[in-house]
Structure 1
Amino acid sequence: MIGLLSTQQHINDLIAFTASNVKTLLECSKEKLHYQHRLLPTLHVFIKHTFYHCKLTPDILIVALIYLNRLKNSLPHKSKGEFDTPYKMFIAAVVLASKFIEDSNTTTHSIHKFISPLYNSRQVNEMERGFL
């Protein structure tokens, strides 16, 4: 039981660390200009729900963090984004990480399905291409 609690705490710490890193990638607007912006929970909650609903592994989050760090290092100084830019960057990084780690598209499909009320498949594909 203690091992399970410890593992759960590590996962919660990884989720919090991921949210903190994604939030600081670039300066983003605080204004929720579009309808879908108003549907978004906090970034931490979004990442946590994505992790559990899509059955992500810690490995996927770690690889996504590596991709996000590389992105941060390549962004022009003082880059700015819309309110949902961190959410989109997280989605793109997780999709790419899951494709790198897994042989099947199971996780990618579950991510598409989970975020479909907010972003359609075309938008997710654009996020992914834009990330590359």
Structure 2
Amino acid sequence: MIAIPSVQQRNNFDNLIAYTASNVNTLVDCSKERLYYQQKLLPTLPIFVKHLFYHCKLTPTILVVALIYLERLKTHLPSKSKGEFDTPYKMFIASVILATKFIEDTNTIAHSIYRLVSPLYRAKEINEMERSFLGVIK
């Protein structure tokens, strides 16, 4: 039987999701202009994080580990780093995939993330995001 989260749990999840989106959004100064077609398809970052959390069945633990990775990234990035419109989305995707690979024995959740974002980013791009992310946080 599938456990349905209570209203209080859902509110706590939503608070964690909002905190995560806010944190990711402040890592790098990014362009507000959507230059490429795939960037025009993106919802707001909070909606994107929430969508990924619920549709890929992420756990709060995965988000917390992703936040730890994002904090490491923040300490290693040059202070005047700049990014494109979708840079926060890419950093979030990479951190969550790395967190799921660290936490779970199988790659079930990581595969569901790949499937969900595949209309926007090819597998090669996602792998590059992961490698770049790891290269910075070493």
Normalising by the smaller structure, the TM-score range is: over 0.9
**Aligned-pair CA distance for 1:22:** 0.2
* Poorly superposed stretches of 4+, deviation over 4 Å: none
Rounded Cα–Cα distance in structure 2 between residues aligned with 1:67 and 1:9: 24
AA aligned opposite 1:97 = A
Instruction: Return the alpha-carbon distance in structure 2 between the equivalents of residues 19 and 55 of structure 1.
Output: 17
CA–CA distance in 2 between the matches of 1:52 and 1:4? 14
1:25-75 Cα shifts (integer Å, max 9, x gaps): 010001101110000000000000001111100100000000000100110
Q: Secondary structure at the match of 2:85?
A: coil
Q: What are the within-5 Å matches in structure 2 for residues 1-132 of structure 1?
A: 4-132=6-134
User: Could you say what secondary structure the match of 1:56 adopts?
Assistant: coil
What RMSD in Å do the two structures reach over aligned CA positions? 0.8
In structure 1, what is the Cα distance between the partners aligned to 2:82 and 2:95?
18
| Alignment size in residue pairs | 130
Please give the secondary structure, in 1, of the residue aligned with 2:106.
coil
Gaps of 5+ in 2: none
What is the letter of the counterpart of residue 24 of structure 2? V
Take 2:17 and 2:87, find their aligned partners in 1: how far apart are those partners?
18
Question: d(CA) in 2 for partners of 1:29 and 1:67?
Answer: 23
Q: CA deviation at 1:77?
A: 1.0
In structure 1, distance between residues paired with 2:83 and 2:116: 23
How much identity, in percent, do the aligned residues show?
65
